[in-house]
Amino acid sequence: MSRALGGFEQLILLAMVRLGDGTYGVAIRREIESRTGKEVSTGALYTTLERLEKRGLVSCLLGEPTPARGGRRKKLYTMEANGMRDLQASYRAFASLVEGVEGRLTLADGPSGGG
Amino acid sequence: MKSVRPPLIPRVLLHLLLRGEEREVICGDLEEEYRDLASKRLGSAVTKQWYWRQALRAVTGRSVERFHRMGGAVRGPRGGPKGAPGYTGMPKGGDTLREIGQDVRFGLRALGRRPMFTVVAGLTLALGVGANTAMFSVLDSVLLKPLDYPDSRRIVQVWSWRPLSKSTLAEIEGDVSSFSSVSGYVTERLALTGEGAAEEIPGAAVSPSHFSVVGIQPAIGRAFTPEESEPGRDAVVILSDELWSTRFGSDPDVLGMSITLDGSPTTVVGVMPSGYRPIVQSWRVWVPLTIDPTDFSDYSGTAGTKVLARLEPGATPARARAELAPIARALREEAPQAHDDEFVAAATVTPLLDARVGSIRSTLWLLLGSVGLVLLIACANVTNLLLAQGRSREREMAVRQSQGASRGRLVRQLLTESTLLGLLGGAVGVLVAIALLSVLRYHLQGGVPRGDAISVDYRVLLFATGTSLVTVLVFGLIPALRAAGTDVNASLRDGGCRGRGGRRGMNQALVGLEIAMSLVLLAGAGLLLKSSWLLQRVDPGFRSENLLTMRLNLPAGSYSEEEAIAQYFQQVEERVAGLPGVISVGSIWSLPMRGSSMSTIYEVKVHPLPEGAPRPAAMAQFLTPGTLKTMGIRLVRGRWFDDSDSPEGPTVAVINEAMAREAFGKEDPVGQEVEMFGNLSFTVVGVVGDVRQLGLDQGSRSEAYFSLFQIPAMSAVYLTIRTAGDPAASIAGVLDAIARLDADVPVSRIATMDEVLLTATADSRLMTLLFSLFAGIALVLGVVGVYGVVSHSVSERTYEIGVRMALGARSGAVVREVMGKAAIPVGFGLVVGIVGAYAATRLLDSILFEVQPADPAVLLVVTVVLGIAAMIASLTPARRAATIDPARCLNTE
């Protein structure tokens, strides 16, 4: 069942595409923060990841505990085929809306000009 | 790297409110990130803030999420009475958050159902917590907070505030390597004239390094240069920010401006920052301390320079003290008469904070200790109330248990109730503290060092929360464990009319304890009251009523000649004496109770002492002849000063009774010759009664009086004016007369002598006031405690008493029986209290005036008062017991 992805969901999935399989919360959060320049709440990140997991867009498994985390385990996330499909659908919609007005959008000053 | 763990509070919060995997992952992420940020040295505040923010967002976000998810369950099946934990409709092991919410709501409702209990218990706690918070605020502001100087712990006072000679100062500067800088100061009161009314301004002459010792430089301009310590180059001044704004309208061009200080032109070179607290609170100007290399008197060891220093980083006061010791020994060898053992022993190095608060330290801890007792009494009281409540609610608990509520759940419910009560008490307590502090601050302003800095801050709030939570644990746990341990069957069978005697042991012990602690506090208050009363009855040696006093300071520039000074005093007294309502006028150098004093060693001509023997000392007092009549000092023998005592005539002195006894024993001192001030010879012409010069609690000391008309040695005096009516009504006229004579003579410290006396005894009165207040609270709480326990035991024994009355017991016997039972814990408490008071009041010894700590009369009176109060408290419930209607009680079975 494909429901349109929310903005934050899109950001998370995009970050996961960039990071590859088996990534985890801290990495995703940093990726989004460094690209958008906005602070991301860890709580909100996991709430959203949980939702994505329930919808079968991502899967996860528990990793090993590390001392840097105070002896706690990580949750390692991998993008599923459904996730990629939904993300592609979102991107298509986005791209078609952007079509023809790219010039006006790129003129706006972007600090990193990422993407 | 010492602390890489995230802040405790948000960490605990996360731990409490997240569960399972979610907790593991989120906490792990945040910790990892936190360590990373910390290792980048972003600044610990930024990193901590980040963690707090993240934790709070995680917690709130998750909770909202969860709340939505469980949606229906919260508003779920309504089996039993809504909300009561333990009734039906509660899934086993249900959501913690929801249960807490339920507990809180139910707890509030339970408290609301018993408004009397809630108000009494809440107020009891509020009084205890509030008084403690207020006292702790004072202690914290005065003793615990560091002084407002950079690295203030390194600032030390040298030689116990002993005035040293400037040459000793120079030696300390040169020889003590533990000090990074050393400075001397002499307090001054300088006359500021010129624009505006003449004003006397308190300040200090300081060596150039003063500002680096303190660690604060002028905000505008500069500190003094070493050259400005030379006589002739010292006509420079630094102003306080307050003086700059009040007197010079914060004029930005103030630097380089010439002002008239003590009659001489002086250049402003600096202004201290606003909010700067000087070493002595009243200072508003600083002038250079001059060291004249040609002035040998300055090197003789008599000059009054006090010394402050800043320790080298890493140096300790002990090391500095060891370095001072050789200097002290050398001084003693040079001039043994001037440097006695006491002087050598005083060669110490004390951190400035300790030196400033020294005398008040033990007093404040004592007050905090006594207010701690008040809190203990409050706790005991509330525990008793809760125990009693717990018993009445045993049936309720039993019903719940029978319907499936676990014991743990009931304990938590009761603890939630206590916590709510504790928080309520704490919140009201903070209000009580704020109110108490505003009163205290007003009274402490002058008497206590740093008294103006007292405020409620976050540490105090922590203290209040801490005490109130500890209290909650103390009084919440016992009844909760009790109630949960109730035997369900027994409670349900029992109609609640029969007594269960064993339970009362706890209450009785608590009541006994309360009485004992109240007695200790009452004994302390009683001793202080007696001490205050005795102090007020002390004869000061003069009549303080209808006596106006004010300080005149003749600017040294315009009054440098002794004749001019004597002439001025004569003229000002004549003019003021001519005013309506003025009976007589005098001038005195050192007003009794105002602090300053000066001593001289003396020798009686006819009783020469062997060479090298220590000479006795007497205080020296300078005054005009009119002072005897004006102040009402008693003339005992011989004559007082008169017009014949002129600078040309033979030098004469009047001595007090204490000196007459000390110097002449049973001989008549009148007509005898005494050497004072080195080798000046004085003829004793009269003896006057002793005046309590240094304070009402200080015994009489030898004192010699000299006429200012014969020896006009002092250019600043207190004018004393005896008036026919209210002295305050004469102030305007007197000021006008003084201004007309010379508008450049500043007048300060205008006060009636009664006010001066009040200020002098302010400390003792404040201590008495506080102790009486605490003891009063303790008395009320103790009495409430007795009443509560007796009253509850009567209602518990209603059935038993009913049966006995039905069998023909007389009401008088019932009253006697109930009161007799109440008398056991009270009597026990009184005995323990007497022993405790006997041991504890010893701590008051140093502040008591002419009262022994274990004064039997005081102990007897407070014991009787407390005993009677406790009896009255148990009388009312005992009477109620005697009116129990047997038929009614038996019918309830």
Q: What is the pLDDT of residue B474?
A: 67
Q: Looking at chain A, which residue has its C-alpha nearest residue B32?
A: A69
| Tens-place pLDDT, residues B264-288 | 899 999 999 998 989 888 899 999 9
pLDDT surpasses 60 at B65: no
Contact list in B for residue A27 (CB cut-off 8 A) is: none
CB contact, 8 Å: B5 with chain A? yes
Residues of chain A positioned with their CB less than 8 A from the CB of B65:
47
pLDDT at res. B212: 93
A1, amino acid identity: M
DSSP B234: -
- CB nearest to A42's CB, from B21, B26, B60: B26
Contact criterion met (CB < 8 Å) for B61 and A62: no
Mean residue pLDDT across chain B = 83
Q: Identify the band that residue B107 occupies on the pLDDT scale cut at 50, 70 and 90.
A: confident
Name chain B contacts of A44, Cβ cutoff 8 Å. Answer: 57, 61
pLDDT, one tens digit per residue, over B161-196 is 677 777 788 888 888 889 999 998 888 888 888 877
CB A7 within 8 A of CB A40: no
How does pLDDT run across B603-624, given as a tens digit for each residue?
898 888 887 777 788 999 999 9
Contact list, A39 vs chain B (CB under 8 Å)? 53
Task: Tell me how far the alpha carbon of residue B385 is from its chain's centroid.
Answer: 33
Going from the C-alpha of B114 to that of each of B104, B117, B792, B822, the distances in angstroms are: 16, 5, 15, 25
**Chain length of chain B:** 893
Mean pLDDT of B668-679: 89
Per CB-CB distance under 8 Å, the chain A contacts of B22 are 46
CA distances for B98 relative to B157, B421, B483, angstroms? 60, 20, 23
**Locate tokens 């109060």: which residue?**
B869
d(CA B833, CA B813): 29
Q: Which residues of A touch B60 (CB under 8 A)?
A: 43
How far, in whole angstroms, is CA B392 from its chain's centroid? 44
Residue B70 to chain A, least CA–CA distance (Å): 15
Which of B31, B32, B62 comes nearest A43 by C-beta? Answer: B62
Question: Rounded to an integer, what distance in angstroms lies between the CA atom of residue A92 and that of residue A106?
Answer: 18
Nearest Cα to B704, choosing from B618, B766, B773?
B618
* Burial of B40 from C-beta contacts in 10 A (0-12 / 13-18 / 19+): exposed
Among A64, A72, A74, most B C-beta atoms within 10 A, so best to mutate, is: A72
Facing residue for B28 by CB, picked from A43, A44, A73: A73
Residue B38, pLDDT above cutoff 70 = yes
| Per-residue pLDDT tens over the stretch B17-33 | 777 778 888 888 888 88
The distance of A102 to chain B (nearest Cα, Å) reads 36
Single-letter amino acid code for the residue at B621: Q
On the question of pLDDT at A113 being above 50, the answer is: no
Cα–Cα dist B625/B645, whole Å: 9
- Interface probe with B: pick from A69, A73, A76, most Cβ of B within 10 Å: A69
pLDDT band of residue B139 (cuts 50, 70, 90) is: confident
Burial class (CB in 10 A: 0-12, 13-18, 19+), A4: exposed
| pLDDT reported for residue B93 | 45
Contact A43 B26 (CB under 8 A): yes
Instruction: Give the minimum alpha-carbon distance from B74 to chain A in angstroms, rounded to a whole number.
Output: 21
Burial pattern B257-286, b for ≥16 Cβ within 10 A else e, equals eebbbbbeebebbbbbeeebbbbeeebbbb
Inter-chain residue contact B21 with A75, CB threshold 8 Å: yes
Contacts of B27 in chain A (CB under 8 A): 70, 72
Minimal CA–CA distance to B34: which of B47, B43, B15? B47
- How confident is the model at residue B46, as a pLDDT? 82
Mean pLDDT of B825-829: 92
d(Cα A66, Cα A72) in Å, to the nearest integer? 6
What crossing angle do the helices spanning B115-139 and B407-447 adopt, rounded to 10°? 40
> Mean pLDDT highest for which of B430-439, B567-576, B769-778, B815-824?
B567-576
Q: Is the pLDDT of residue B739 over 60?
A: yes
Contact B57 A44 (CB under 8 A): yes
Residue B839 parent element (H or E): helix B811-840
Radius of gyration (C-alpha) of chain A in whole angstroms: 16
Look at residue B316 and give its three-state secondary structure. coil
Higher pLDDT, B429 or B15: B429
Does the distance separating the beta carbons of B29 and A29 come in below 8 Å?
A: yes
- Comparing B762 with B322, the larger pLDDT belongs to B322
What's chain A's length in residues?
A: 115
> What number of CA atoms fall less than 13 Å from residue B501's CA on the CB side?
2
Provide the chain B residues 50-109 that lie in CB contact (below 8 A) with chain A: 53-54, 57-62, 65
Average pLDDT over residues B865-877: 90
Residue A69: which of B31, B53, B54 has the nearest Cβ?
Answer: B31
With 80 as the cut, is the pLDDT of residue B79 above it?
A: no
Which of A26, A41, A70 is the closest to B61 by Cβ?
A41
**Residue B241 has what pLDDT?**
93
What is the number of alpha carbons within 13 Å of residue B487 lying toward its C-beta?
5
By mean pLDDT, which of B12-26, B802-816, B865-879 is the weakest? Answer: B12-26
Confidence category of residue B833, pLDDT binned at 50, 70, 90: very high
Sign, CA torsion B372/B374/B375/B380 = positive
| DSSP letter assigned to residue B153 | G
Query: B358 pLDDT exceeds 80?
Result: no
Q: Measured between CB atoms, which of A26, A44, A62 is closest to B29?
A: A26
Query: Is the CB of B32 less than 8 angstroms away from the CB of A26?
Result: yes
State which amino acid sits at residue B675. Answer: E
Distance, in Å, from the CA atom of B753 to the CA atom of B226, rounded to the nearest integer, reads 43
Distance of CA A37 to the CA centre of its chain: 14
Give the least confident one: B298-312, B405-419, B470-484, B742-756.
Answer: B470-484
In this predicted structure, what is the pLDDT of residue B283? 92
Mark out chain A residues that contact chain B at CB-CB < 8 A: 24-26, 29, 39, 41-44, 46-47, 62, 66, 68-70, 72-75
CB atoms within 10 A of CB B760: 20
Which is more confidently placed, B794 or B682?
B682
pLDDT-derived band at B109 (thresholds 50, 70, 90) equals confident
Q: What residues of B are in contact with residue A76 (Cβ under 8 Å)? A: none
Testing the interface with B: which of A23, A45, A46, A51 to mutate, by most B Cβ within 10 A?
A46
| pLDDT (average), residues B698-705 | 90
The residue of chain B with its CA nearest to that of A30 is B33
Count CB-CB contacts under 10 A for residue B456.
19
B49 touches chain A (CB under 8 A): no
CB B29 within 8 A of CB A44: no
B213-265, pLDDT tens digit by residue?
A: 999 999 999 999 988 988 888 899 999 999 999 888 898 899 999 999 888 89
Instruction: Give the chain A residue whose CA is nearest to the CA of B35.
Output: A68
β-bridge pairing B652-656 and B680-688: parallel
Output DSSP code: residue A74. Answer: P
pLDDT number for residue B187: 84
Q: Which residues contact B168 (CB under 8 A, 6 or more apart)?
A: B301, B305, B327, B331
Whether the pLDDT of residue B483 is over 70: the answer is: no
Q: What is the largest CA-CA distance in chain A?
A: 52
Nearest to B65 among A41, A47, A68 (CB): A47
| SS3 assignment, position B184 | strand
Confidence tier at B832 by pLDDT (50, 70, 90): very high
Q: What is the largest CA-CA distance in chain B?
A: 110
Name the nearest CA neighbour of B435 among B767, B768, B782, B126: B126
**Continuous segment of H or E residues that includes residue B181:** strand B179-193
CA distance B57 to chain A (A): 6
Of B21, B35, B57, the CB nearest to A43: B57
In this structure, are residues B785 and B381 in contact, taking their beta carbons and an 8 Å threshold? Answer: yes
User: Distance (Å, rounded) from C-alpha B200 to C-alpha B857?
Assistant: 49
- Between A51 and B43, the more confident residue is A51
Q: What residues of A are in contact with residue B46 (Cβ under 8 Å)?
A: none
Is residue B37 within 8 angstroms of chain A, CB to CB? no
Per-residue pLDDT tens for B492-538? 555 444 444 445 677 788 889 999 999 999 999 999 999 988 988 88
Evaluate if residue B71 carries a pLDDT over 80: no
Q: In terms of CA atoms, which chain B residue is nearest residue A26?
A: B29
Summarize pLDDT for B525-566 with one digit per residue, the tens: 999 999 988 988 889 999 999 999 999 988 887 888 888 999
Q: Would you call B58 and A42 a contact, using CB atoms and an 8 Å cutoff?
A: yes
Nearest to B756 by CA among B692, B708, B700: B692
Chain A neighbors of B63, CB-CB under 8 A:
none
Cα–Cα distance list, B188 to B206, B352, B711 (Å) = 10, 20, 22
Span B589-603, mean pLDDT?
83
A75 and B25: CB-CB below 8 Å? yes
Read off the pLDDT of residues B740-752 as tens digits, 9 standing for 90 and up: 999 889 998 899 9
What's the gap in Å between the CA of B258 and the closest CA on chain A? 59
Give CA–CA dist B132/B145, Å, rounded.
18
Predicted local confidence at residue A1, as pLDDT = 46
Contact B573, B753 (CB under 8 A): no
Residues of chain A with Cβ-Cβ distance to B31 below 8 Å are 68-70, 72
Contacts of A24 in chain B (CB under 8 A): 29
